[in-house]
């Protein structure tokens, strides 16, 4: 039976640890397993722009001996030019897996339902699982004992936050999330994560106080205030998030050896100041690099030879 990766919750804790262990091996040797995707083709269906996700998947697929085809928003135009169901059924006749970046979670769910091949979510409005798996790997490189770590996410409680929350809950990492009122994570995601965190002995704190959010944490994580597709809300969001900037005053509340993380793209002067993202605590480009290694492990897990 084929498996999809719509969010981190689709994987067991053991499977996540297995993927992270394979990621470490692939990072040590980029040309390990050069035939893992031999004679396989992957379709990259993108309804939104991308730098990291598209490029790291394309390069990773080629390093594993596979082929890929990038399909831009104007080519597939999910649900407009033809139904998502028909796109899924058609692409299943050509490809061995699909990576999809879509506007709405329902679109990636429909692709997964009607495709006979694995569908990997490359970001939707609700989740960004490849990012979260990469992020946990990146945290582990700095703090190998993950269960001693507290992660802090400051910003909008949407896709990146949801997947990070679930990934921390699965691995047993404590997480604190600070958002402005009205931008909290989805209630169902919080409830699901709390149930998983209880099984794994980790804590989840949701607050509206950025200072409480970063107090004594090891990791400070930030994302843009205006996600792709929300551009008309820019002015309102800049006002609503102004107290949630990661700057030198806020980071004083974290542990001295904290690390700063960001999924990128970043907006210096909005969610983070230049001195923090470009400073000595920042690991944002390690994260960007690690997308390559983690996604190769994910593809081997879901679609490898």
Selected from 263, 297, 300, 303, the binder of ligand CP by CB under 6 A is 263
Among all residues, whose Cβ is closest to ligand NVA? Answer: 227
Q: How far is the CB of 165 from ligand CP (least distance, A)?
A: 17
Cα angle, residue 178 at apex, residues 246 and 168 outer, rounded to 5°: 100
Minimum CB distance to ligand NVA, residue 227 (Å): 3
290 is an interface residue for ligand CP by CB under 6 A: no
Catalytic residue among 7, 68, 124, 128: 128
Q: Which does 274 bind (CB under 5 to 8 A by kind): ligand NVA, ligand CP, none?
A: none
Catalytic residue among 263, 287, 293, 295: 263
Residue ranges binding ligand NVA (CB under 6 A): 123, 158-160, 223-224, 227-228, 263
Query: Hey, which residues between 44 and 63 contact ligand CP (CB under 6 A)?
Result: 50-53
**Cβ proximity to ligand CP, 123 vs 226, nearer residue:** 123
Q: Compare residues 118 and 122 and give the one whose CB is closer to ligand NVA.
A: 122
Among residues 162 and 293, whose Cβ is nearest to ligand NVA? 162
Catalytic site residue from 101, 162, 262, 293: 101
- In angstroms, what is the minimal distance from the CB of 51 to ligand CP? 3
Residue in the block written with tokens 């597709």 = 229
Count interface residues toward ligand CP (CB under 6 A).
9
Token pair recorded at residue 172: 């047993």
Closest contact distance (angstroms) between CB of 42 and ligand NVA is 20
Binding segment toward ligand CP, per CB under 6 A, in 14-22, 205-213, 229-237, 257-265? 257-265
Which of 262, 291, 293, 295 is flagged as catalytic?
Answer: 291
């Amino acid at each position: 039976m084929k498996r999809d990766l719509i969010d981190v919750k689709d994987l067991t804790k053991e499977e996540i640890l297995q993927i992270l262990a394979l990621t470490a091996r692939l990072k040590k040797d980029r040309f390990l397993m050069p035939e893992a995707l031999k004679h396989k083709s992957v379709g990259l269906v993108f309804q939104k722009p991308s730098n990291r996700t598209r490029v790291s998947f394309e390069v990773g697929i080629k390093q594993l001996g596979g082929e890929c085809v990038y399909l831009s928003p104007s080519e597939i135009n999910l649900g407009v030019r033809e139904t998502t169901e028909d796109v899924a059924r058609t692409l299943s006749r050509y490809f061995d897996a699909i990576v999809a970046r879509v506007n709405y979670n329902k679109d990636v769910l429909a692709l997964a339902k009607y495709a006979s091949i694995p569908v990997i979510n490359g970001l939707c409005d609700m989740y960004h699982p490849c990012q979260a798996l990469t992020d946990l790997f990146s945290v582990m490189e700095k703090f190998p004992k993950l269960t001693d770590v507290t992660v802090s996410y400051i910003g909008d409680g949407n896709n990146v936050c949801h997947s990070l929350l679930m990934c921390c809950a699965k691995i047993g990492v404590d997480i604190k999330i600070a958002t402005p009122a009205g931008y909290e994570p989805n209630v169902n995601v919080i409830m699901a994560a709390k149930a998983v965190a209880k099984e794994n002995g980790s804590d989840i704190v949701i607050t509206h106080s950025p200072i409480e959010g970063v107090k004594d944490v090891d990791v400070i994580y930030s994302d843009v205030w205006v996600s792709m597709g929300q551009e008309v809300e820019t002015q309102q969001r800049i006002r609503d998030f102004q107290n949630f900037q990661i700057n030198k005053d806020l980071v004083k509340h974290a542990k001295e050896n904290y690390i700063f993380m960001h999924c990128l793209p970043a907006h210096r002067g909005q969610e983070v100041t230049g001195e923090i993202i470009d400073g000595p605590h920042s690991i944002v480009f390690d994260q960007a690099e690690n997308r390559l290694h983690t996604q190769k492990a994910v593809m081997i897990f879901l679609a490898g030879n």
